[in-house]
Amino acid sequence: MIDVTNLQKSFGDHKVLNGIDISINKGDIIVVVGPSGSGKSTFLRCLNCMEDPTAGEIIFNGVDIADQKIDINIHRRHMGMVFQHFNLFNNKTVLENIMMAPVHVRCQELKKQKKYKIGKTKKEVIAEAKNQAMDLLARIGLEDKADVYPSTLSGGQKQRVAIVRSLAMNPDVILFDEPTSALDPEMVGEVLSLMNDLAKEGMTMIVVTHEIGFACEVADRIIFMDHGKIIEEGTPLEVTKQSQNPRVRDFFQKILNV
Ligand code: ADP
Ligand code: MG
């Protein structure tokens, strides 16, 4: 599904990604770990076209999305992104947050279709998106929060809303950037449990996280980044317990011994 070759990113003369190569298949759960500043967020942001790579290729569903001439919006729709700080729109209700992107995209499609006098009315599109959003809220047990604003939700609820908001676009893959690291400890479990469910359903996921228990349970592969490179890649057991790389061993010894 995604083939990354020699991905590089510099900010001025600061080289942040130093040649990343990775292939991701449909249904893969990839966990990305590594020290702070190693380029994990920049890697996800390049995948999602929020940063323009300095060099390299990102082939997503057969198209090079690192090529700045293509319409990235079309590709971005197929890639969900979940952030550490939720990034919900605080001036929109929970329901509006979930409906907004699907309604926008489907209304754009509608405009094109109108020329051929086919398709649904705008009202039908909105009603459909609303039904879907309510189903997604029911899935996380938050139907009663549909009409409230995000500021009234707990961190765990906000992040679960952010996750189902990305599901509303029926993405091929969801990128998670430290989705639990801004949460109070007692709310980490509910978010990881939702992510675990998605993994079981076959969603393709790339997850930056330091939740090693989660990584060992659900990851097909863990990749370890340091100084903008992947310095270790393998099954959770191989990377967390059997790495020959001192940098990697040291990292997991510290994490696993806390
Ligand atoms: P990680 O997510 O692994 O902590 P990041 O990808 O956020 O690492 O950052 C890697 C490096 O890139 C850091 O040194 C950071 O300061 C730098 N960096 C990230 N974004 C920018 C930017 N927009 N401009 C300049 N430097 C940046
Ligand atoms: Mg980061």
Q: Considering only 60-69, 110-119, 216-225, 226-235, which range has the smallest mean pLDDT?
A: 110-119
Q: What pLDDT score does 113 carry?
A: 74
Chain centroid offset of residue 69 CA: 24
pLDDT for residue 120 is more than 90: no
Ligand 1 pocket test, candidate residues 41, 52, 175, 208, most atoms within 8 A of CB: 41
Ligand 1 atom having least distance to the Cα of 35: 3
Ligand 1 pocket test, candidate residues 13, 14, 16, 54, most atoms within 8 A of CB: 16
pLDDT for residue 115 is more than 70: no
Confidence (pTM): 0.94
Q: Considering only 7-21, 63-77, 118-132, 165-179, which range has the smallest mean pLDDT?
A: 63-77
Q: How confident is the model at residue 107 (pLDDT cuts 50, 70, 90)?
A: confident
Q: What pLDDT score does 122 carry?
A: 86
Residue 86 alpha carbon to ligand 2 centre in Å? 14
Q: How confident is the model at residue 68 (pLDDT cuts 50, 70, 90)?
A: confident
Question: Using a 6 Å cutoff on CB, does residue 16 contact ligand 1?
Answer: yes
pLDDT for residue 117 is more than 70: no
The protein residue whose alpha carbon is closest to atom 19 in ligand 1 is 42
Q: What pLDDT score does 168 carry?
A: 96
pLDDT for residue 258 is more than 80: no
pLDDT digits (tens, 9 = 90+) for 6-42: 999 999 999 999 999 999 999 999 999 999 999 999 9
pLDDT digits (tens, 9 = 90+) for 209-244: 999 999 999 999 999 999 999 999 999 999 999 999
Q: What percent of the chain has pLDDT over 90?
A: 83
Q: Could you give the CA distance from residue 77 to residue 90 in angstroms, rounded to a whole number?
A: 22
pLDDT for residue 116 is more than 80: no
Q: Considering only 23-32, 104-113, 122-131, which range has the smallest mean pLDDT?
A: 104-113
Q: What pLDDT score does 114 carry?
A: 67
